[in-house]
Every structure is written in C-alpha cells, then in structure tokens.
Homo-oligomer: A and B are copies of this chain.
Amino acid sequence: MSDIILDSKADQLADVRAQRFSTGRATVEALEEILYEPIKVLDHGFVRIVDYMGDDGAVVQAARVSYGKGTKKVNQDQGLINYLMRHRHTTPFEMCDIKLHIKLPIFVARQWIRHRTASVNEYSARYSILDKEFYIPEPQHLAAQSEVNNQGRGNVLVGAEAEHVLTLLKQDSVQAYSHYQDMLNLDENGQILDENRSGLARELARMELPVNYYTQWYWKINLHNLMHFLSLRADSHAQYEIRVYAEAMLDIMRRWVPLTYHAFTEYRQQGAHLSKTGLQAVRRMIKGEIVTQENSGLTSREWGELIKILETE
C-alpha cells in the first residue's frame, strides 16, 4: 500500500507539501524542510514526519511555566535543558510531540509496540490487503547466532550457507504472497481469480504471511518518551533492524530540538551508570590502588562492563 501511496498519489503528495500556512505556533524551520518526506530505512521501509508540536523553547517555557519564548540567549536555554536532563526533571520534555508515518517489517513492529507510551494507528489487514513487500537482509547483515550472547548476532554468514538462507527467505516470502492472493481468490494482478469461489476473509488470509512482511502506522510520541525509546533502540544491544529506525529518528530529533539532542547525547546516550560497587572501584582506582575483578566486589560480567566503560574513548 505504501508504494501506492507514495507513487500513484505522488501528485497529491506534492500538493500537500506545497501548501503553506501562517501560524503563531512554535515552528522549526529545519523540520519544515523535511516535512512529509519519506526517509528510507531498510529495503522498503521509511520514516516520514507528519506533524510536530513544540521546540527547544517549549521545553524551556514549560520548565519556567512561563508563556514567552524563554530567555533570548541560547546558552541559558542550553544550560536549563542540561540541568533538566541531568536531574531527571522529565515533565518539560513531555510538552513536545512528534507524529511519524513509519513503514516497517512486522517483526520490528512487534518489538516497537512494546513501548506503550505512544499513540498508534496501524494499517489494518482485516480491512485491507497487504502489499507484496517483505524484508530481505543485505548480505552484510545476515549474521550467525552469537555464541556468547543468547540475544545477539555473531559473524556474518558467508558462501553457500548465506546463499541458502537468502534463497529460502525469498522463495518462501514470494510463495506466501502468491498463496495469500490465492486464498483471497485474487490473481497476481489483484483481479478476481474464479467467479465460483468466495475468497477467504482477509482477517484469516493474512495468517499466511510471515513476519518479514511490511506493515505501516502513524505513531505519535512526546519528546520524553521518544528519548526513552531511542536510549533503548539506538543502543548497540538493539536488533539491527529496529536500530536503523532509531537512528533515522535520532537525526530527526537533532533537527527538531538541537539543544535537547545535545543534552541527551551528553547526559544519557554517551554517559554511563555506575553501580554502588562499581563506583567504589572507581574511587579506589583514582587513588592509585590496583583494583582487580577479584578485589572489586564485582562479578566478572560486571567487571567486564565497567572496564569497557572506562576504556572507551
């Protein structure tokens, strides 16, 4: 459907983009520039800004429960936003919202939806017929199971195994869609196949399709909850296929609220949380003591995590 939307309705889309209105609301020029533009993610997915409310000034304004545009001097606004971020005063960040149109594989949608603090309207496969669009990983993302992490990826598959896996994925995806259409009593052009058949209900036929098929939704979230989403999903532990969406949204956030983005990067994304025992180890290290896992009180896994934090440049 999305290609139908973005191709056959291209004229209408152009119309929408061309329309400009006059508003007294907080407006972000850098976001207006990419409003309605699909930003490509994975092979057939995208993220597209549909609407937004507020800017960095709205965060400052809410923090001051004042009506103006905050202080005029940017460094004061940055200082206040840094303070809010550092001290977990999160409510002012709830005062900004963004609404995105997203196209994504079903298995990504299933992870995504676990974040319950957003509003969602998803394309309904009870009501409409899904498009023939499915996700096939690029060869460099076709990873083996990690041997050290139950929930992660290891080396990239190569050679015959890679080819074998890709062939299975593609063939089965194509076959599933062909059978999906058959169940619906449709030919490959979407025309009725056999006048004597009824066609299975769409809400049942969809059962045939695997979770690499694409769905799409409108997704609206406030800035506070967006940062929570991004801190988990733009993280290196997140599955690649959702991380690329998070990264696209990080770029959007940087355009939208640059001061908040800076504070988010400085105080959350690139900072680190140390445990009570981890802190004690750090204090001893600073005093020049030789601290080892054995005398640190940390488990070997925790010790590994601490060392990684302390060694990263």
Q: Verify B95–A220 contact, CB threshold 8 A.
A: yes
Closest to A220 in B: B95
Q: Verify A232–B88 contact, CB threshold 8 A.
A: yes
Tell me which residues across on chain B come within 8 A of A66, comparing CB atoms: 5
Given the known interface contacts A97-B97, A279-B271, the answer about A24 and B17 at a Cβ–Cβ threshold of 8 Å is: yes
For chain A, give the interface size range. Answer: 35 or more
Least distance between A106 CB and chain B CB atoms (Å): 7
Candidates B184, B200, B207; contact of A105 at CB < 8 Å: B207
Which residues of A142-158 have CB atoms within 8 Å of chain B's CB atoms? 142-146, 150-155, 157
Q: Verify B151–A127 contact, CB threshold 8 A.
A: yes
Least distance between A236 CB and chain B CB atoms (Å): 12
Tell me which residues across on chain B come within 8 A of A126, comparing CB atoms: 151, 239
Least distance between A66 CB and chain B CB atoms (Å): 6
Q: Verify A203–B151 contact, CB threshold 8 A.
A: yes
Q: Verify B25–A35 contact, CB threshold 8 A.
A: yes
Closest to A93 in B: B119
Closest to A141 in B: B204
Least distance between A246 CB and chain B CB atoms (Å): 15
Tell me which residues across on chain B come within 8 A of A36, comparing CB atoms: 24, 67
Q: In the complex, A94 Cα to B99 Cα: how many Å?
A: 11
Which residues of A199-230 have CB atoms within 8 Å of chain B's CB atoms? 199-204, 206-212, 216-218, 220, 222
Q: Verify B282–A310 contact, CB threshold 8 A.
A: yes
Q: In the complex, A184 Cα to B143 Cα: how many Å?
A: 11
Is A76 at the interface (CB under 8 A from chain B)? no
Candidates B119, B157, B197; contact of A91 at CB < 8 Å: B119
Least distance between A300 CB and chain B CB atoms (Å): 12
New contact pairs (4) apart from A23-B23, A24-B36, CB-CB < 8 Å? A95-B119, A169-B183, A272-B274, A288-B288
What 3 pairs between A and B have smallest CB-CB spacing? A144-B198, A21-B27, A94-B119
